[in-house]
Every structure is written in structure tokens, then in C-alpha cells.
């Protein structure tokens, strides 16, 4: 069973503020995330029409390639992996930076063949979001990227998403269809809903092992993608919950048959062999003169009739007295 791996998503929540983005990186580290995802756009007009109403705003949110290199260097210095989501071809060049573990493909770029080819040429492992995609489209991407495709990510953004519309059972379906592939979950529940934390637990129990979560310095502050961005404290709660599930719930099935100390204590409460009536030294034990009953001290005793039948007592026993290893010859 793969251990859980959670990375935070910064998207354009930074709104072009280099300092705010470094704060998001710091917060991700402090929360216990394994990595940080960055949506990288180095030239706005490569991605969005200049006639789009949001063009000017988005252009003001973009960092240049040199700034991204510095951001990646800072992230790597924290020991955090980098998940690169390139929105234009030039952004793929950053995949050579230290610390880049995965390239994530944005849903809107699903048919951008130039970008997809550049990503394939990079050789970096790919995360594919399957939200809003048909099975045929997913299979086509599997063929295109082959072994380079490492993770299929369930979930989509509806600002925020409703869990009942996400259909978490897709995790089970994909796990069965692609047994050698990692399946992930990108939650986009509202920041103030309990599902923002609990849905990750559900996903883990269904077989997801990779998790993406939007992070905010302050929840609810009106910034880009704030609807599903949660505090570092909540990120830490998710990390802690996933760690608990890894260690105690979805661990190695082969080891699950081993009893814990508490279960051993529970087992030792079982009925023990006692004398059915007063028995004298030299009595040969039989089913008729033995009973199974609860006792206070189960040490060095017997739990099955066949362990003591036909054996000889080496001492007198009163009624209900335990038959112990020291009672027998």
C-alpha cells in the first residue's frame, strides 16, 4: 500500500505577489505538505485571448521565467517537491529546475497538442486530472504518455465543488481499471465545509494515495480561488488524518492479522479450565470434572478441554479453582 502524499495548490491565489507566494510556500512546509503545485504562465497571450475580460488581471498575476526559477529554488530549499502545471509551452522549460517531481496537466489544456508534446518531451512524470474527461479521453492520454503518466487525479473545481457531484466512487473504478497507476484526489469543497477535510479521508479509504489541496494564508479572504482554499492548520489536520489512516487503517493487509497488545488482552479474557467439583491429587481429568469459566488471573492456564483431558492432577483442587500448569503432573 502506497503511503499518502499531499501537496498544496497555490494556483493564482498569490495574484502576482511574490511575497505572498513565498508565504504560501512557507505555510505549506509548516503544515507538513510534501510538495507545492504552481500554475505557471510566462506569457499571458499564449494562454488567454487578449479579448478575454480577465486578460489584464491575469497578465498582472504572471511572473517571468527568472522569477519562477527563484521561486522554485526557494521551494526546493525547503525540501518540498515541485508540481509544475505549465499553461504555455515556455513554462515547460522550467521542468529542468531542481525539485520538479511532476508536471500536472490543466483540464483546459487537454487538447493543446503543442503543450502536450512539450510535456512528453520533458520526460517528467505526469499527473492527469480526469475531472470532466470521458474514459476514452483518459485512455487516449494513457496511450500518449505511456509509462510517463504516473497519477490520475479525481476531482474538479466548481468554485466550490459539491462532494455529491464529484463522484468519489470514480477512485475505486480507476483503481480497478489501472491497478499499477497511482490514483489521487484533488478536493475543491468549500473552505468552510467539513468535507474540505473529511472528503480526503473518504478518498484514502477508497484507494487514493495522492492528494492536492488549495492553501490560503487566511480562509475566506476574497482572492483568486479562495472558495476552496483552506488554512495551513486545516492542511495539517488532513496530513495528520492521512498519516493515521496509513498507519492504522489501510496499512499492509498481510500484517493486519497480527494482534495488537490491546487485542491480545481482549483475547486473554476467554474462558479457562477450572475444577468442576473438589478434586484430589492423582485425579485423571475428564470432560466430566472440568468446566470452562471466566477467571481473574489467566496466566499459565488452559483454554481448551483437550489440553488437559487424560492428564493427572498433582495437587488437590477446590471447586472452580483454576487448573494451571503447576496443577498437573
Average pLDDT (6-32) is 98
Mean pLDDT of the chain: 95
pLDDT at 54 > cutoff 70: yes
Percentage of the residues of the chain whose pLDDT score is greater than 70: 100
pLDDT at 225 > cutoff 80: yes
- Give me the residue label for grid cell 477535510: 197
143 vs 259, higher pLDDT: 143
Radius of gyration of the chain measured on its C-alpha atoms: 30
- Domains of the chain: residue spans and CATH: 5-255 (3.20.20.70), 261-327 (3.90.1210.10)
Average pLDDT (267-281) is 94
Average pLDDT (309-326) is 95
CB 27 within 8 A of CB 215: yes
Q: Which residues contact 36 (CB under 8 A, 6 or more apart)?
A: 7, 8, 9, 10, 24, 25, 28, 75, 80, 81, 82, 83
Average pLDDT (29-40) is 99
pLDDT of residue 258: 87
pLDDT at 1 > cutoff 70: no
| Pairwise CA distance, residues 4 & 296, whole Å | 43
Average pLDDT (253-265) is 84
pTM, whole model, 2 decimals? 0.87
Nearest to 127 by CA among 111, 138, 113, 114: 138
Average pLDDT (96-106) is 98
pLDDT in tens, 60-95: 999 999 999 999 999 999 999 999 999 999 999 999
pLDDT in tens, 278-310: 999 999 999 999 999 999 877 889 999 999 999
CB 286 within 8 A of CB 312: no
Q: How far is CA 248 from CA 182, 201, 243, in A?
A: 20, 13, 9
pLDDT classification of 198: cutoffs 50, 70, 90: very high
Amino acid at each position: 500500500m502506497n503511503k499518502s502524499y499531499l501537496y498544496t495548490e497555490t494556483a493564482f491565489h498569490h495574484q502576482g505577489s511574490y511575497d505572498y507566494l513565498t508565504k504560501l510556500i512557507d505555510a505549506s512546509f509548516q503544515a507538513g505538505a510534501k510538495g507545492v503545485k504552481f500554475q505557471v504562465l510566462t506569457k499571458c497571450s499564449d494562454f488567454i485571448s487578449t479579448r478575454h475580460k480577465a486578460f489584464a488581471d491575469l497578465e498582472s498575476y504572471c511572473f517571468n521565467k527568472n522569477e519562477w526559477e527563484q521561486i522554485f529554488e526557494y521551494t526546493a530549499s525547503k525540501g518540498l517537491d515541485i508540481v509544475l502545471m505549465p499553461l504555455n509551452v515556455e513554462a515547460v522549460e522550467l521542468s529542468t529546475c531542481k525539485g520538479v517531481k511532476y508536471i500536472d496537466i490543466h483540464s483546459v489544456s487537454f487538447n493543446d497538442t503543442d503543450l502536450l508534446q512539450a510535456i512528453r518531451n520533458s520526460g517528467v512524470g505526469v499527473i492527469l486530472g480526469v475531472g470532466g474527461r470521458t474514459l476514452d479521453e483518459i485512455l487516449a492520454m494513457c496511450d500518449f504518455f505511456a509509462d510517463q503518466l504516473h497519477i490520475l487525479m479525481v476531482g474538479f473545481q466548481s468554485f466550490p465543488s459539491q462532494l455529491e457531484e464529484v463522484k468519489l466512487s470514480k477512485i475505486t473504478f480507476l483503481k480497478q481499471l489501472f491497478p499499477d497507476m497511482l490514483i489521487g484526489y484533488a478536493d475543491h469543497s468549500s473552505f468552510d465545509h467539513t468535507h474540505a477535510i473529511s472528503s480526503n479521508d473518504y478518498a484514502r479509504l477508497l484507494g487514493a494515495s495522492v492528494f492536492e489541496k488549495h492553501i490560503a494564508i487566511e480562509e475566506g479572504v476574497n482572492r483568486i480561488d479562495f472558495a476552496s482554499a483552506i488554512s495551513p492548520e486545516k492542511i495539517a489536520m488532513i496530513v495528520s488524518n492521512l498519516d493515521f489512516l496509513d498507519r492504522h487503517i489501510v496499512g499492509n493487509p498481510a500484517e493486519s492479522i497480527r494482534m495488537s497488545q490491546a487485542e491480545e488482552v481482549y483475547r486473554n479474557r476467554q474462558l479457562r479450565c477450572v475444577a468442576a467439583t473438589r478434586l484430589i491429587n492423582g485425579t485423571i481429568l475428564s470432560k466430566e470434572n472440568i468446566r470452562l469459566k471466566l477467571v481473574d488471573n489467566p496466566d499459565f492456564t488452559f483454554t481448551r478441554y483437550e489440553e488437559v483431558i487424560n492428564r493427572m492432577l498433582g495437587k488437590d483442587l477446590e471447586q472452580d479453582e483454576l487448573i494451571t500448569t503447576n496443577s498437573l503432573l
